Amino acid sequence: MSSSSCNKDPLTLMAMWGSMRGYNPDQGFSFEGPEKRLEIIVRFLDETNKEGFLSFEDSSWEHVVGSLNAEIVSREKNGQINSYVLTESSLFVLRNKIVLITCGTTTLLNSVPIIMELISCMRGEVEWVSFMHKNYSFPWEQKGPHTSLSEEFNHLKTHFPTGKPYILGPVDSDHYFFFCYDDIIREEGNTVYEADAQLSMTMYGLDHNQTKHWFHDKFECTNDITQKIRKDTKLDILFNKEEGWTIHDLQFEPCGYSINAIRGSDYATTHITPESHCSFASFETNANEANYFKTVLKVLDVFRPQRFTVIVIIDPYSEVGKLYHANEPIGVEPSFFVKKTFDGSDELHTPFEVDYCVMHRAVNEFAPGYVAMKINYVQRSALEKLKEEKSEVNGTENA
């Protein structure tokens, strides 16, 4: 860790300490899988370009992506959403919204001034901004403005002064930093407007039988080879073309994999870091489902992680939001993932057993009816193994 760590704020130091406990410098280079995520929604005025963000050519988005040290390598469009696979994750552009997701040491917040210029050019107004990221696995490797939580917060406050920061979860282990700026003009009785939902999963300790498929000796982009990878890993069940998804994906060299899928205004994306010492995968979708269980189960069936964090961010009038506010389960709660065996029927095709313990659960409810729920899970067998290892270490120290 660099000497500059002494200048960090206390929350960042605690987060770094949590990351250092599992860090082994002898393992060499480790890629930062957990992504930074920025979402910006605009309000349309009488003078706003009615095509919104979709009015800009790809060159504008190349400029945005270049500002954070990434490149566009693949693209798909369907009239409602433009999808870009990046060298580090993904960009989704809708008429009134952009979602920018980047991993590694990308400097995502450096793109904000350029995006604000685009909004000014289209004569729109910012009505909602959220920035979030799971705690970094190797926070000491990050570059400004992402070297500390306070630096990220100060950068965001420069552009969105009334935004609020939150920490969801324990600071020294699996948590999310979440910042939101809310300038939505709400009309009483309008139940159509706030109907968005977001499901995100971050997974660690992936199944070796799966990760072996995401190594390759050259780049492959949406071809027969990536199609075979999807089939061999069961990603084709998660991203099912028969359900209307248009897919584009990228196999990196020597390892790593990204896939974007779009359907109408829905998107779904997965990013994979397969190296055994830092194996990681993420999944995100904005598909407006009434219950997330089947989707989460498909994701777990692909990756079989030792531990995972699921976070849902839901508007009050989304399908899953209505369920939540009616005190009904939404498919991510502990009861769905404790000692459950699935016989391979339905979408899974193969027998599958899940048995996870809850390590932490946090729920933030924002007025009016906006909810963020985060739950940390760990595989029961992995937790028991960890307890045994700690017991052996304590026994050796006491001998």
Looking up tokens 């000497």, which residue turns up?
A: 3
Is 35 part of the annotated catalytic residue set? yes
CA 44 to chain centre: 27
Tell whether omega for the bond before 34 is within 30 degrees of 0, i.e. cis.
Answer: no
CB distance 249 to 230 below 8 Å: yes
CA 295 to chain centre: 15
pLDDT at 346: 56
Instruction: Write down the catalytic residue from 19, 83, 89, 148.
Output: 89
Distance CA 245, CA 248 (A): 10
Q: What angle do CA 98, 329, 318 make, to 5 degrees?
A: 30
Instruction: Write down the catalytic residue from 19, 90, 130, 258.
Output: 258
- The 3 state secondary structure assigned to 16-62 is HHHHHCCCCHHHCCCCCCCCEEEEEEEECCCCCCCCHHHHCCHHHHH
Could you tell me which of 142, 141, 33, 137 has the C-alpha nearest to residue 151?
142
Measured N-to-C along each axis, helices 112-121 and 58-66 cross at an angle, to the nearest 10 degrees, of 150
Is 271 part of the annotated catalytic residue set? yes
Instruction: Write down the catalytic residue from 19, 35, 88, 279.
Output: 35
In the DSSP assignment, the letter for residue 135 is: P
Is 173 part of the annotated catalytic residue set? no
pLDDT at 344: 60
pLDDT at 368: 81
Measured N-to-C along each axis, helices 149-159 and 112-121 cross at an angle, to the nearest 10 degrees, of 20
Is 278 part of the annotated catalytic residue set? no
The neighbouring-strand residues paired with 164 are: 180
CATH architecture entry for 1-183 = 4-Layer Sandwich (3.60)
Instruction: Write down the catalytic residue from 39, 88, 90, 103.
Output: 103
Is 89 part of the annotated catalytic residue set? yes
CA 342 to chain centre: 26
Looking up tokens 């009904």, which residue turns up?
A: 328
pLDDT at 17: 44
Q: For the residues of 329-379, what is the DSSP string, one character each?
A: --S-SGGGTSSEEE-STTTT-S-EEE-EEEEEEEEEEETTTEEEEEEEEEE
Conformation bin of residue 109: beta by default, left when phi > 0, alpha when psi is -120 to 50: alpha
Instruction: Write down the catalytic residue from 175, 213, 248, 271.
Output: 271
Per-residue pLDDT of the chain (399 residues; tens, 9 = 90+): 444 444 666 656 555 444 444 545 555 555 565 789 999 999 999 999 999 999 999 999 999 999 999 999 999 999 999 999 999 889 999 999 999 999 888 889 999 999 999 999 999 999 999 999 998 877 778 888 988 899 999 999 999 999 999 999 988 888 999 999 999 988 776 666 789 999 999 999 999 999 999 999 999 999 999 999 999 999 999 999 999 999 999 999 999 999 999 999 999 999 999 998 889 999 999 999 999 999 999 999 999 999 999 999 999 999 999 999 999 999 999 999 987 777 665 555 566 788 999 999 999 998 788 999 999 999 998 887 776 655 655 565 555
pTM of the complete model: 0.89
pLDDT at 5: 46
